[in-house]
Amino acid sequence: MLPSQALLPAVLFALAALRALASDTFLAAVYEHAVILPHATQEPVPASDALALMNRNMDVLEGAIKEAAQQGAHIIVTPEDGIYGWRFTRESIYPYLEDVPDPAVNWIPCTDPSRFGPAPVQERLSCMARNNSIYVVANIGDKKLCDSSDPSCPKDGRYQYNTDVVFDAQGKLVARYHKYNLFLGENQFNYPKEPEAVTFETPFGKFGIFTCFDILFYEPAVVLVSKMQVDTVLFPTAWMNVLPFLTAIEFHSAWAMGMGVNVLAANTHNTSMEMTGSGIYAPTGARAYSYNMKTEDGHLLIAELDAHPRLSPASPPAVSWNSYALSVERFSQNGHEFTGIIFEDPFTFTELTKPGGNVTVCQKDLCCHLSYKMAEKRDDEVYVLGAFDGLHVFEGQYYLQICTLLKCPSTNLSTCGQPVETAQTKFDMFSLSGTFGTSYIFPEVLYSGVQLAPGEFEVLADGRLINRNTTSKPVLSVTLFGRWYEKDPPSMDQASA
């Protein structure tokens, strides 16, 4: 008998095992957490009170982590500020901070808790990961003591950082990221001196991590994707929704599509702060998401993702964002143009007066072309095509180029651009494109009730954002949200100096 034949099953088995080790897919979880907030106070509380509050939040997170692990999830992301909340001064957050070491030290806090001094929060997170054999991603506060030998040491003798941590399935600290683009009013924290591009490898792909406001800027978010080639971005956030373009589910899913990566976005949940919207986003659309302005509950999402979305056959083609728009003549105008304000930015609008047609609107160097057909033109609803090309200066400065088809809150044209959450008009067809000067474009489609439209639209290689079929729900907005990073003013680190 030939030995090779006898060996064949064993060889096949070994191959299968190897393939399973380097998985094609994995199960991801995100938990939207209704954070239990500390009492608003200027005075620092005793460390034991701070830990008690953080343990109450970690009790809730532990339930979600256990549930996710039982359902087979490999990794779970929890939100920014999810353990200690907000409303802090620099002094009052201090009792909540721990020294988070560089992951290069090779540390499992669960089995060696006091190696770097007291670290009860890291110990508990590490044990939750280890006990449940799941990667755990959380957001905590890091403190680093400094003295006058460091000329930029703050006068209270310490740096304080908004920090993401990742523990692997053995409980080992594998990533530490200090938030680079702090949001306005985050005065309890320091800016890190340099942006950190933090990545780590797993059997289910290469991961990168950043937080909240970071997603609007080049460093480190775009660097992680274009230079470090991560497959999946971990995104703890405390995101306040702003219609029509910057609701959490809408913008975060659009970033995943525009950048061609998976994004695991875990938001905090607080309806009075407009904080809701978490999701598991693939480049082709949301695999799972939640948006809940009705109750104050947390919510666990679990979904399967490709470990290497760029290698997937379903992966969208490389897009030349302005090639269609530059190739066509300006469509005829169908009426007068007017200015409307969105999030403090002056857009040029034109009304879609007919049930269908071809319309162009321009602002500065940006011309936006729309071909469309409404399922029915209603008298009680107004839609406009809008263009904006300029520096956004409200709550942060960043250069935008935006083409948008959107519903106005009323038939009064002066309301166009103001937030609206419901609509009645479905579209049989839309095709939106623009003469963009940047290649960083994030495609958004938002339906009535602030719902996403996964699988119902796509971007063609020539840059047209088109629907695949009559929209299954009425349309709030269809948008190409462009970021032109080179035109941003000097970066945040200089502002902090």
Beta bridge partners of 280: 264, 288
**Catalytic residue among 98, 186, 196, 212, which?**
212
Q: How far is the CB of 346 from ligand NAG (least distance, A)?
A: 15
* Tokens found for residue 450: 């602030």
Residue pair 290/248 in contact by the 8 Å Cβ criterion:
no
> Whole-angstrom Cα distance, residue 301 to residue 269?
14
Residue pair 252/301 in contact by the 8 Å Cβ criterion:
no
Q: How far is the CB of 395 from ligand NAG (least distance, A)?
A: 17
Q: How far is the CB of 208 from ligand NAG (least distance, A)?
A: 27
CB closer to ligand NAG out of 373 and 378 = 373
> Whole-angstrom Cα distance, residue 174 to residue 223?
20
Alpha helix (H) residue ranges in 313-429: 323-327
Question: Per-residue string for binding with ligand NAG, 359-388, x by CB under 6 A?
Answer: ------------x-----------------
- Residue of 315, 358, 438, 491 interacting with ligand NAG (CB under 6 A): 358
Closest CA to 136 of 266, 310, 315, 275: 266
The size of the interface with ligand NAG (CB under 6 A), counted in residues, is 19
CA distances from 24 to 40, 46, 65, 312, 317 (A): 46, 48, 23, 9, 20
CB closer to ligand NAG out of 171 and 260 = 171
CA distances from 262 to 89, 283, 286 (A): 34, 6, 9
Amino acid at 252: H
CB closer to ligand NAG out of 123 and 164 = 123
> Whole-angstrom Cα distance, residue 437 to residue 27?
37
Q: How far is the CB of 437 from ligand NAG (least distance, A)?
A: 24
- Residue of 23, 25, 37, 491 interacting with ligand NAG (CB under 6 A): 37
CB closer to ligand NAG out of 354 and 487 = 354
**Catalytic residue among 179, 367, 368, 416, which?**
179
> Whole-angstrom Cα distance, residue 308 to residue 324?
29
Q: How far is the CB of 144 from ligand NAG (least distance, A)?
A: 26
- Residue of 414, 449, 489, 496 interacting with ligand NAG (CB under 6 A): 414
Residue pair 27/74 in contact by the 8 Å Cβ criterion:
yes
CB closer to ligand NAG out of 152 and 469 = 469
Half-sphere exposure of 468 (CA within 13 A, CB side): 8
> Whole-angstrom Cα distance, residue 460 to residue 457?
10
The answer to whether 22 contacts ligand NAG (rule: CB under 6 A) is no
Q: How far is the CB of 50 from ligand NAG (least distance, A)?
A: 17
CB closer to ligand NAG out of 112 and 296 = 296
Annotated catalytic residue 212: yes
Q: Pick the stretch among 203-211, 226-234, 409-417, 474-482 that binds ligand NAG (CB under 6 A).
A: 409-417
Closest CA to 141 of 84, 66, 198: 84
The answer to whether 470 contacts ligand NAG (rule: CB under 6 A) is yes
By CB under 6 A, what part of segment 153-192 binds ligand NAG?
none
Q: How far is the CB of 294 from ligand NAG (least distance, A)?
A: 13
Residue 366 φ then ψ, to 5°? -100, 120
**Catalytic residue among 32, 62, 80, 219, which?**
80
Q: How far is the CB of 9 from ligand NAG (least distance, A)?
A: 38
Question: Per-residue string for binding with ligand NAG, 263-302, x by CB under 6 A?
Answer: -------x-xx----------------------x------
Beta bridge partners of 141: 162
> Whole-angstrom Cα distance, residue 305 to residue 189?
34
- Helices first, then strands: H and E counts in the chain: 7, 23
CB closer to ligand NAG out of 69 and 234 = 69
Annotated catalytic residue 179: yes
> Whole-angstrom Cα distance, residue 436 to residue 484?
9
- Residue of 356, 390, 396, 437 interacting with ligand NAG (CB under 6 A): 356
By CB under 6 A, what part of segment 94-153 binds ligand NAG?
124, 127-128, 131
CB closer to ligand NAG out of 171 and 205 = 171
Half-sphere exposure of 10 (CA within 13 A, CB side): 5
Residue 367 φ then ψ, to 5°? -110, 130
Residues making contact with ligand NAG (CB under 6 A):
37, 87, 124, 127-128, 131, 270, 272-273, 296, 356-358, 371, 412, 414-415, 469-470
| Residues catalogued as catalytic | 80, 179, 212
